[in-house]
Structure 1
Amino acid sequence: MSKTLEHNFVEQLEANQNIVHKVCRLYTNNQDAHNDLFQEVVIQLWKAYPKFRGDSKFSTWMYRVALNTAITLYRKKKRRINTQEFESVEFKIKAEEYDDTEEQQLKLLYSAVKELNDIEKALVFLYLEDKNYKEISETMGISEVNARVKMSRIKTKLKTILNP
């Protein structure tokens, strides 16, 4: 690969690496597993980068590769990649913004999301990242209508889990 291609890749990766970290947090439960998954995602991104045509935003493409890598790894190993325990998540919030009610609601939401399958988790993750349905559909490789339908069903499923 050319130095220009390598430079562009590193620049894009550095600017968007939080995407990969967020996906790793979603599909792992400890730092070692997080690091392993992060490394695997970066390897897959590097391998696929020469074929990246720029039809979508780099960040959208990165979400797709990261989520597909995490889900594929899960399926290959045929074991569950544990999601991170809510209690071990560190939040950086200002003291004056602290609201115990909001924290309890988040804890319930994370608990409910843990009960979803990996594809549903990915959809919820993108939805909570404020991605619109067009971006979600591009990232997941499904139609926009299918993304809306799936998200509607997931919302219903989450309501059922949260309000039995």
Structure 2
Amino acid sequence: MNSNLEKTFIAFLKENQRIVHKVCRIYTDNKEDHEDLFQEITIQLWKSFPSFKGDAKFSTWMYRVALNTAITLFKKAKKNDLTTAIDVSSLRIEYETYEDDEHKLKIMYQAIYTLSDIEKALIMMYLEDKSYREIGEILGITEGNARVKMNRAKNNLKQQLNTK
């Protein structure tokens, strides 16, 4: 294993770790699942890192891998348990907790959790102040399609929040 590649990966991951936590927060509803998904996303990022060419920003690429992993895993999880045979313990990645104690945020995350997988991703990126162009790039859709999907996701979220 190339130690420079490993050092670069760890530096990028540490710098952008909050992205992974946010994806985990949107797609899980308890600490154990959050930690499991964090590990699975980290594994997928590490496996894919050699193919990262820098055409897009690292954070954009990381969002894409993290969202695809979360969506794919939870579709598979409905059929069977999550298992991965890759050992990433040698990477020495420090897991930082990401907790929000504010009641309003908890209610919003609960409402987001009820949305579809794509709507969760859209709302998360909206909360990150991503442009429609960036959202489209991350999801592999046009900017116009990102706008349409975002409006639907916002309306669905408003409906969820109004019922709570």
Alpha carbons of 1:47 and 1:126: their partners in 2 closer, same or farther (altered >3 Å)? same
Q: Provide Cα deviations, 1:112-162, integer angstroms capped at 9, x if missing partner.
A: 323311111110011011111111112112111111110112223334444
Mapped to 2, the partners of 1:73 and 1:29 lie a distance apart of: 15
1:64-103 to structure 2, matched below 5 A, reads 64-78=64-78, 90-91=100-101
Mapped to 1, the partners of 2:8 and 2:28 lie a distance apart of: 29
Q: Provide Cα deviations, 1:14-54, integer angstroms capped at 9, x if missing partner.
A: 11111111111111222221111111111100110111111
Structure label with greater radius of gyration: 1
Match of 1:16 in 2: 16
Larger RCO (CA within 8 A; separation ≥ 6): 2
1:1-164 to structure 2, matched below 5 A, reads 1-78=1-78, 90-91=100-101, 104=104, 106=105, 109-163=108-162
Mapped to 1, the partners of 2:100 and 2:60 lie a distance apart of: 26
**DSSP 3-state at the match of 1:116:** coil
TM-score (normalised: structure 1) = 0.77
Mapped to 2, the partners of 1:107 and 1:17 lie a distance apart of: 20
Mapped to 2, the partners of 1:31 and 1:163 lie a distance apart of: 26
Amino acid at match of 1:11: A
Q: Provide Cα deviations, 1:65-100, integer angstroms capped at 9, x if missing partner.
A: 111111100111226xxxxxxxxx6337xxxxxxxx
Mapped to 2, the partners of 1:32 and 1:10 lie a distance apart of: 23
Alpha carbons of 1:4 and 1:108: their partners in 2 closer, same or farther (altered >3 Å)? closer
- In the TM superposition, residue 60 of structure 1 has moved relative to its aligned partner by 0.8
- What percentage of residue pairs aligned between the two structures are identical? 60
Alpha carbons of 1:2 and 1:128: their partners in 2 closer, same or farther (altered >3 Å)? same
Mapped to 1, the partners of 2:9 and 2:31 lie a distance apart of: 25
Runs of 4+ in 1 over 6 A off after TM superposition: none
Alpha carbons of 1:90 and 1:110: their partners in 2 closer, same or farther (altered >3 Å)? closer
Alpha carbons of 1:111 and 1:30: their partners in 2 closer, same or farther (altered >3 Å)? closer
TM-score (normalised: structure 2) = 0.77
Amino acid at match of 1:67: L
